[in-house]
């Protein structure tokens, strides 16, 4: 064990293990999570070479092998609780996506939710036993988030009682679905349903893509891998071009909408049913933001405790780089953010589960707010985490750029969350739509409840007064007062956006043009709203923490999170009259103080995330701090070192020497 990192742990003012329990939701949950992790990590069937040393084809193959093993072992161990399956799977693939993700996460659940019982009989058990390997083919080359405009067609032919599926344009080729390229033999295809000469919009169809015996593509099916990406090397994201592919009428998922044998279309009873799933997935992504950022912080902070560089005082030994104020200023606000997002993720998941019962009873009253919140928070947290991972990487200097740090891998695995499940800017605008609507309701005298209730107050509280005339309400040392300031900032920005929109309405050709011409303000308002929610939830979490030492360090983190946000957006707070100019200097001093307070606890705070070395797979982020030895060992095993002399020497360099 590296002595520096030992000393860090000795100096912590709290017990990291107890904090881990809080993060997991109790000691029993921690125990079980570790038990599952050990099952995988100690299993010789899951051992393989470092993925960084493999070609993409080899990485795909290794992932297929592990996924196959995983299916067998889950059944062998009888692990069936979804959360436990999630743990197991994330250890097997170290948090990466894998070829069977959409089979397990979309194909099977969609069958359960949208297939008739006859269809379940036909498809579910074969899919459960992986004879049918499915994927979910929605996104096309030309359309992602805006799904209404998808172009794939499914035209009903009553003469044969079949649907005929087509990709009528290049842009209509299905593009991106995971597992579609090489793994799946079936796909649930989203297509525009045509029957009796009329289009009824998007519906889901089960299409067999490959032969069950030979795995060769079926006639009319052009299918393959979309090629290398920034990351996701394990996944065969695929394309699918359909050329007059016929499927039986009974392959349309018909639990809700139906096409009768003669071609008569029967509408579904409600369209809110898929709404809940979106909310659920976006809430999960908020949790992912925290996980990805906390991994990056673990690596960067442990490395900064071990790395010595340059000098603060001449003649003395080189300090740990964690002692540099600039390094603390890069990393500690991100550490605070990782904690904040963890608690927000917990809140989202709890709220979702709380109202799921209501949704199943047909009570959708709380769903719009949660839907709006999950959209905005998905965007807010993924943007911040994505940028934050890169700050962590660069805070490790050159070594962060090596794949042995694992930071490049964490980044490329995480950054697509900014785009998938709803592109972030579109998500921010969805939240804005809800905020503006709520603002208008409040203006019209309606009493709002829930998280937007602050807009009730905005009519009276946020007045356009000159800055100097406003009383200063914010106590920069008090979290409750800061929550209030974030709330009033959000109220102010929602008001500004709503008024700006109103102004545009008078100038623009249409309400839609007005919306577009206000969209910068609208995104800003959503951002402020989400920021308020995060500060509020982080603060609220503190009251649940009984351990006084942990309460103290988490309070420091929360204050750092809140004040750092104020200093980054100081213009907003000054503009809204929530801060005075002299307070800015106080904040800047206070921030430095908080960095110093956190310094002794930094390593323990990342230890509490409790990532095993096998999960981090990072030479820089090792628990024992033996960074350099491990880097050297790793490098010597890398493919270019398999021979002392690379063949290109004989092929190109030696012949060249004789020509010059």
| Closest residue by Cα to residue 378 from 353, 344, 410, 407 | 344
Q: How far is the CB of 84 from a copy of itself (least distance, A)?
A: 20
Binding positions for a copy of itself, 577-596, rule CB under 8 A: 581, 584-585, 588, 591-592
| Closest residue by Cα to residue 254 from 293, 192, 206 | 206
* Catalytic residue, candidates 288, 369, 421, 495: 421
Does 1 interact with a copy of itself (rule: CB under 8 A)?
A: no
Q: Which is nearer to a copy of itself, 244 or 309 (CB)?
A: 309
Contact 292, 406 (CB under 8 A): no
Q: How far is the CB of 418 from a copy of itself (least distance, A)?
A: 6
Q: Which is nearer to a copy of itself, 37 or 288 (CB)?
A: 288
Stretch that binds a copy of itself, among 198-206, 263-271, 316-324, 552-560 (CB under 8 A): 316-324
Which of 424, 431, 474, 617 is the binder for a copy of itself (CB under 8 A)?
424
Query: What gap in Å lies between CA 616 and CA 222, rounded to an integer?
Result: 38
Q: Which is nearer to a copy of itself, 347 or 434 (CB)?
A: 434
Binding mask 600-629 for a copy of itself (x = CB under 8 A): ----------------------------xx
Contact 167, 152 (CB under 8 A): yes
Which of 74, 416, 459, 599 is the binder for a copy of itself (CB under 8 A)?
416
Dihedral pair phi/psi, residue 138, rounded to 5°: -110, -65
Which three-class secondary structure string do you get for 181-213? Answer: CCCCCEEEEEEEEEECCEEEEEEEEEEECECCC
Residue-wise DSSP of 584-644 = HHHHHHHHHHHHHHHGGGHHHHHHTT---HHHH--STT-TT--HHHHHHHHHHTSGGGSSS
Q: CA-CA distances (angstroms) from residue 377 to 48, 228, 382?
A: 37, 30, 8
Q: How far is the CB of 347 from a copy of itself (least distance, A)?
A: 27
Q: How far is the CB of 537 from a copy of itself (least distance, A)?
A: 25
Binding positions for a copy of itself, 560-579, rule CB under 8 A: 567, 569-575
Q: How far is the CB of 568 from a copy of itself (least distance, A)?
A: 8
Q: Which is nearer to a copy of itself, 391 or 448 (CB)?
A: 391
Give the count of residues interacting with a copy of itself (CB under 8 A).
143
Q: How far is the CB of 333 from a copy of itself (least distance, A)?
A: 11
Which three-class secondary structure string do you get for 338-355? Answer: HHHHHHHHHHHHHHHHHH
| Closest residue by Cα to residue 203 from 171, 249, 262 | 249
CB neighbour burial string for 73-99, b if at least 16 within 10 angstroms, e if fewer: bbeeeebeeeebeebbbbbbbbbbbbb
Binding positions for a copy of itself, 29-68, rule CB under 8 A: 52-53, 55-57, 60-61, 64-65, 68
Query: What gap in Å lies between CA 477 and CA 18, rounded to an integer?
Result: 27
Q: How far is the CB of 45 from a copy of itself (least distance, A)?
A: 12
Q: Which is nearer to a copy of itself, 146 or 353 (CB)?
A: 146
Binding positions for a copy of itself, 7-36, rule CB under 8 A: none
Which of 43, 84, 225, 366 is the binder for a copy of itself (CB under 8 A)?
225
CA-derived radius of gyration, the chain: 27
CB neighbour burial string for 516-544, b if at least 16 within 10 angstroms, e if fewer: ebbbebbbbbbbbbbbbbbbbbbbebbee
Binding mask 520-549 for a copy of itself (x = CB under 8 A): xx-x--------------------------
SS3 state at 155: strand
Q: Which is nearer to a copy of itself, 402 or 601 (CB)?
A: 402
DSSP lists the bridge partners of residue 202 as 192
Which of 199, 266, 312, 473 is the binder for a copy of itself (CB under 8 A)?
312
Which of 398, 507, 543, 548 is the binder for a copy of itself (CB under 8 A)?
398
Which of 423, 457, 547, 624 is the binder for a copy of itself (CB under 8 A)?
423
Binding positions for a copy of itself, 462-491, rule CB under 8 A: 466-468
Query: What gap in Å lies between CA 444 and CA 462, rounded to an integer?
Result: 17
H or E stretch covering 240: strand 238-242
139 annotated ligand-binding residue: yes
| Closest residue by Cα to residue 298 from 590, 610, 650 | 610
Binding mask 144-173 for a copy of itself (x = CB under 8 A): xxx--x--------------------xx-x
Q: How far is the CB of 414 from a copy of itself (least distance, A)?
A: 12
Q: Name the token pair of 414.
A: 């995480």
Q: How far is the CB of 639 from a copy of itself (least distance, A)?
A: 6
Stretch that binds a copy of itself, among 108-116, 357-365, 420-428, 554-562 (CB under 8 A): 420-428
DSSP lists the bridge partners of residue 190 as 204
Is 421 noted as a catalytic residue in this protein?
A: yes
Query: What gap in Å lies between CA 483 and CA 490, rounded to an integer?
Result: 11
Does 77 interact with a copy of itself (rule: CB under 8 A)?
A: no
Binding positions for a copy of itself, 345-384, rule CB under 8 A: none
| Closest residue by Cα to residue 242 from 164, 182, 308 | 164
Q: Which is nearer to a copy of itself, 112 or 211 (CB)?
A: 211
Q: How far is the CB of 468 from a copy of itself (least distance, A)?
A: 4
Stretch that binds a copy of itself, among 114-122, 347-355, 363-371, 397-405 (CB under 8 A): 397-405
Query: What gap in Å lies between CA 578 and CA 475, rounded to an integer?
Result: 10
Which of 188, 488, 496, 554 is the binder for a copy of itself (CB under 8 A)?
496
Q: Which is nearer to a copy of itself, 188 or 523 (CB)?
A: 523
Stretch that binds a copy of itself, among 34-42, 252-260, 277-285, 419-427 (CB under 8 A): 419-427
381 annotated ligand-binding residue: no
Which of 361, 510, 543, 548 is the binder for a copy of itself (CB under 8 A)?
510
Contact 434, 369 (CB under 8 A): yes
Give the CA-trace dihedral at 162, 183, 215, 134, to 10 degrees.
Answer: -30
Which of 24, 366, 390, 597 is the binder for a copy of itself (CB under 8 A)?
390
Does 76 interact with a copy of itself (rule: CB under 8 A)?
A: no
Q: Helix 367-395 vs helix 424-443: angle between axes, to the nearest 10 degrees?
A: 140
Does 85 interact with a copy of itself (rule: CB under 8 A)?
A: no
CB neighbour burial string for 277-316, b if at least 16 within 10 angstroms, e if fewer: eebbbbbbbbbbbbbbbbbbbbbbbbbbbbbeeeeeeeee
Does 455 interact with a copy of itself (rule: CB under 8 A)?
A: no
Q: How far is the CB of 345 from a copy of itself (least distance, A)?
A: 22
Q: Give the residue numbers annotated as catalytic, written as ranges.
A: 421
Residue numbers belonging to the annotated binding site:
139, 178
Residue numbers belonging to the annotated binding site for FAD:
139, 178
């Amino acid at each position: 064990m590296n002595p520096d990192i030992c000393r860090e742990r000795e100096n912590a003012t709290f017990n990291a293990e107890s904090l881990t329990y809080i993060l997991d939701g109790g000691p029993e949950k921690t125990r079980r999570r570790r038990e599952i992790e050990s099952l995988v990590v100690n299993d010789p069937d899951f051992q393989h070479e470092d993925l960084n040393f493999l070609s993409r084809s080899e990485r795909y193959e290794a992932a297929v092998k592990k996924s196959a093993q995983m299916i067998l072992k889950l059944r062998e161990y009888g692990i069936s609780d979804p959360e436990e399956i999630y743990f197991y799977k994330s250890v097997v693939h170290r948090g990466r996506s894998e070829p069977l993700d959409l089979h397990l996460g979309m194909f099977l659940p969609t069958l359960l939710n949208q297939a008739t019982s006859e269809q379940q009989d036909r498809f579910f058990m074969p899919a459960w036993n992986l004879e049918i390997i499915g994927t979910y083919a929605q996104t096309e080359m030309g359309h992602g988030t805006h799904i209404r405009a998808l172009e794939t067609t499914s035209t009903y032919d009553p003469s044969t009682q079949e649907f005929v599926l087509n990709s009528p344009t290049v842009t209509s080729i299905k593009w991106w679905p995971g597992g579609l390229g090489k793994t799946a033999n079936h796909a649930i295809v989203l297509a525009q349903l045509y029957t009796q000469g009329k289009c009824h919009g998007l519906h889901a169809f089960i299409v067999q893509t490959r032969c069950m015996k030979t795995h060769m593509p079926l006639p009319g099916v052009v299918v393959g891998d979309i090629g290398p990406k920034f990351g996701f090397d394990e996944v065969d994201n695929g394309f699918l071009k359909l050329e007059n592919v016929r499927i039986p009428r009974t392959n349309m998922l018909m639990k809700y909408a139906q096409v009768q044998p003669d071609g008569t279309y029967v509408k579904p009873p409600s369209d809110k049913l898929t709404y809940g799933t979106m909310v659920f997935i976006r809430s999960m992504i908020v949790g992912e933001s925290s996980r990805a950022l906390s991994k990056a912080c673990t690596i960067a902070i442990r490395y900064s405790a071990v790395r010595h560089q340059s000098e603060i005082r001449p003649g003395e030994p080189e300090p740990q780089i964690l002692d540099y104020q600039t390094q603390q200023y890069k990393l500690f606000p991100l550490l605070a953010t990782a904690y904040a997002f963890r608690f927000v993720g917990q809140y989202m998941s709890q709220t979702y589960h709380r109202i799921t019962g209501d949704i199943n009873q047909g009570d959708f009253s709380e769903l719009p707010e949660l839907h709006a919140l999950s959209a905005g928070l998905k965007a807010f947290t993924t943007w911040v985490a994505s940028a934050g991972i890169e700050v962590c990487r660069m805070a490790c200097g050159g070594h962060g750029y090596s794949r042995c740090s694992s930071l490049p891998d964490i980044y490329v695995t995480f950054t697509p969350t900014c785009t998938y499940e709803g592109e972030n800017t579109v998500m921010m605008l969805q939240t804005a739509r809800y905020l503006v609507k709520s603002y208008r309701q409040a203006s019209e005298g309606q009493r709002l409840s829930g998280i937007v209730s602050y807009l009730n107050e905005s009519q009276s509280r946020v007045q356009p007064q000159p800055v100097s005339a406003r009383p200063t309400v914010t106590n920069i040392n008090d979290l409750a007062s800061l929550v209030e300031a974030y709330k009033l900032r959000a109220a102010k920005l929602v008001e500004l956006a709503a008024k700006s929109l109103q102004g545009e309405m008078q100038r623009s050709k249409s309400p839609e043009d007005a919306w577009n011409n206000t969209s910068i303000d609208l995104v800003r308002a959503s951002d402020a709203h989400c920021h308020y929610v995060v500060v509020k939830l982080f603060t609220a979490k503190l009251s649940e923490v009984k351990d006084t030492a942990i309460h103290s360090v988490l309070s420091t983190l929360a204050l750092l999170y809140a004040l750092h946000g104020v200093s980054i957006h100081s213009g907003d707070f000054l503009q809204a009259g929530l801060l005075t100019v002299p307070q800015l200097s106080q904040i800047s001093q206070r921030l430095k103080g908080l960095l110093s307070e956190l310094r002794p606890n930094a390593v323990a705070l990342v230890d509490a995330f409790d990532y095993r070395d096998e999960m981090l797979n990072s030479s820089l982020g090792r628990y024992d701090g033996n960074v350099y030895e491990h880097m050297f060992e790793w490098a010597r095993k890398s493919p270019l070192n398999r021979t002392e002399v690379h063949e290109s020497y004989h092929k190109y360099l030696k012949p060249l020497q004789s020509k010059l």
